Amino acid sequence: MFSRRDLLQLAAATAAVLPFSGARGFAQQRLTQADLLKFEPVGNVTLLHITDIHGQLTPLYFREPSLNLGVGDAKGQPPHITGKTFLQRYGIPEKSADAYALAFEDFEALAKTYGRIGGLDRAATVIKSVRAERGGDRVLLLDGGDTWQGSLGALQTKGQDMADCMKLLKPDAMTGHWEFTYGEDRVKELIKSQDFAFLALNVRDNDWQEPVFEPYKMFERGGVKIAVLGQAFPYTPVANPRWMVPNWSFGIREDDVRANVEKVRKEGAQLVVLLSHNGFDVDRKLAARVPGIDVILTGHTHDALPEAVKVGNTLLIASGCHGKFVSRLDLDVQGGAVKGFRYKLIPLFADVIAPDAEMAAAVEKARAPFAAELKREVGRTDSLLYRRGNFAGTFDDLICAALLQERDAEIALSPGFRWGTSVLPGQAITMEDIHNATAITYPAVYRMTMSGERLKEVLEDVADNLFNPDPYYQQGGDMVRCGGLGYTIDIGKPAGQRISDMTTLKTGQAIDPKRDYTVAGWASVNEGTEGPPVWDLVERYVAKQKTVRIQPGDSVKIRGA
């Protein structure tokens, strides 16, 4: 990103003017597009990486997590550090532009100073600039997946709006995860509409165990033969409905990764890149166990790291989410080995980077059919609404409150999805905001009874998905969000023993294992789940409240961290 000297100067200048009304304008004057793109090239190959855009075509606010706990060997290691600890680790001054982009500290104030981040039109400007500077024959653009899902427009068009706009960026390859929730036929249709490869070596058909997608593709850039291997999210049929991909099986398939690495090396690959949607900790373990991978472009866990993490001879690159960043990795490849590299995580400050005209027109066209609904104001918020975090997000608390009231339930369960944009205090809550947190193809809000014993089992299962010390057993997402229910979790304990002290928040009474409770929830992976779509209930609740006030709660007590 910026040099440390530039950051220190910018932080000092911005801090001096923050109390005054001109803070945002001053910050924008200090930041320039040239600063953001400044890079001293090295070597003969440039990799550009974007991932986890989640249907976001336009600039947005996105608060990074205040809590991102690691377990086992990952405890206390990037990306499992946040806030001031994160800033200190990377020498990033507080209140600086990078601090705003990468950490949650002072988010509300810094958002008013630095504005929104992202937008495909800004990404297009950066990508075209790098190609022009470096030469297109040296650049590979790779998309890590979770691209076609996560917004009202993406849901209504079944990913077509994103596919059409992404095509203009001219990526060389992509892999996937939430893409699969449109179903097998739709995924195939969208792939056919593109002119680049969809790679996923770990997806097989159930009948013959043959590859469903291309496992890898060979490219030549800068005189270097490059193999890009694709790794889709390995737990798609567990984290998402299996009935949407009934004929396909997934998995980490470490042996298949190893076999394909060996195969492409025999075919003359001088640089091997794994385009992965495994999640950072899974990729860190994979890098330590599978030799011959030079670079892993990791996705799924939404981590944004300003430096490459090296595991043996493998570089791990984490490029954030929601279109906030484009990663640039320059490599000096000589004699089939990486002799040197330089890396930059480029934040796409929307008030600084000029929008690309071609992409801006395409985005406007894609959003036009839904323009009125996207901007329709439902209510307002006095509180910061955000999602990302291991245990709680205020937008999830809002969803839980809506489920409790609109479904007349004692307890609400909301999935620990990592995608979803933020809304600042004093802003309107629009239908776009609501869909940015709820737009899925299985949105029914169920109402059912669950015993206290079953509720504990649910919490224990999700906790093990998140905090199993072996990354290969971590199946993605954050902890299920609860409304009307509090508990204590000890993340250091073994499976089945992490959850205790479960209480109903309304009465303060302990959850009775034998009693049945009325529970409302959404995003069930079970086929045939009935109920109204979650966005309708959230809209109804916000409209009744008119102004939402939700502060971070303390109903989850954390131990062992």
pLDDT at 110 over 50: yes
For residues 136 and 262, membership in a common domain is answered with yes
DSSP codes joined into one string, 303-348: -B-SSPEEETTEEEEEB-STT-EEEEEEEEEETTEEEEEEEEEEE-
pLDDT band at 552 (very low <50, low <70, confident <90, very high): confident
Percent of the chain at pLDDT > 70 equals 95
Question: Residue 109 domain-assigned?
Answer: no
Give pLDDT, residue 475.
84
CATH code for the domain in which residue 275 is found: 3.60.21.10
Question: Residue 337 domain-assigned?
Answer: yes
pLDDT band at 451 (very low <50, low <70, confident <90, very high): very high
Q: Which of 28-37, 62-71, 121-130 has the lowest mean pLDDT?
A: 28-37
Question: Residue 78 domain-assigned?
Answer: no
Do the Cβ atoms of 370 and 364 come closer than 8 Å?
Answer: no
The set of residues, in sequence order, having a beta carbon less than 8 Å from that of 268 and lying 6+ positions away, is 225
For residues 322 and 394, membership in a common domain is answered with no
Question: Residue 24 domain-assigned?
Answer: no
Question: Residue 98 domain-assigned?
Answer: no
Residue 366, CA atoms < 13 Å, CB-side half-sphere: 31
Average pLDDT, the chain: 94
pLDDT tens column, 3-17: 444 443 444 333 333
For residues 347 and 380, membership in a common domain is answered with no
Which of 334, 351, 368 marks a domain boundary? 351
pLDDT at 107 over 80: yes
Give pLDDT, residue 24.
57
For residues 322 and 391, membership in a common domain is answered with no
Of the chain, the end-to-end C-alpha distance in Å amounts to 30
DSSP codes joined into one string, 338-395: EEEEEEEEEE-BTTTSPPPHHHHHHHHHHHGGGHHHHH-EEEEESS-B---SSS--HH
**Longest CA span, the chain:** 69
Do the Cβ atoms of 414 and 521 come closer than 8 Å?
Answer: yes
Average of pLDDT values for 336-343?
Answer: 97
DSSP state of 422: -
Question: Residue 31 domain-assigned?
Answer: no
Do the Cβ atoms of 173 and 199 come closer than 8 Å?
Answer: yes
For residues 397 and 505, membership in a common domain is answered with yes
Average of pLDDT values for 130-146?
Answer: 97
pLDDT tens column, 161-202: 999 999 999 999 999 999 999 999 999 999 999 999 999 999
Question: Residue 365 domain-assigned?
Answer: no
The set of residues, in sequence order, having a beta carbon less than 8 Å from that of 25 and lying 6+ positions away, is none
Average of pLDDT values for 394-413?
Answer: 98
Average of pLDDT values for 224-233?
Answer: 98
For residues 344 and 422, membership in a common domain is answered with no
Give pLDDT, residue 10.
42
**Cα–Cα distance measured from residue 191 to residue 89, given in angstroms and rounded to the nearest whole number:** 40
For residues 454 and 386, membership in a common domain is answered with yes
pLDDT tens column, 17-63: 333 234 555 555 589 999 999 999 999 999 999 999 999 999 999 99
- The 3-state DSSP class for residue 279 equals coil
Give pLDDT, residue 9.
42
For residues 415 and 498, membership in a common domain is answered with yes
Domain count for the chain: 2
**Cα–Cα distance measured from residue 434 to residue 437, given in angstroms and rounded to the nearest whole number:** 5
CATH code for the domain in which residue 509 is found: 3.90.780.10
For residues 332 and 399, membership in a common domain is answered with no
pLDDT at 312 over 90: yes
pLDDT at 390 over 50: yes
The set of residues, in sequence order, having a beta carbon less than 8 Å from that of 411 and lying 6+ positions away, is 404, 450, 455, 482, 483, 484, 485, 504, 517, 518, 519, 520
For residues 341 and 263, membership in a common domain is answered with yes
**Containing structural domain, residue 461:** 376-559
For residues 306 and 380, membership in a common domain is answered with no
**Cα–Cα distance measured from residue 93 to residue 110, given in angstroms and rounded to the nearest whole number:** 13
Average of pLDDT values for 423-450?
Answer: 98
For residues 183 and 304, membership in a common domain is answered with yes
Question: Residue 368 domain-assigned?
Answer: no
**Cα–Cα distance measured from residue 533 to residue 522, given in angstroms and rounded to the nearest whole number:** 8
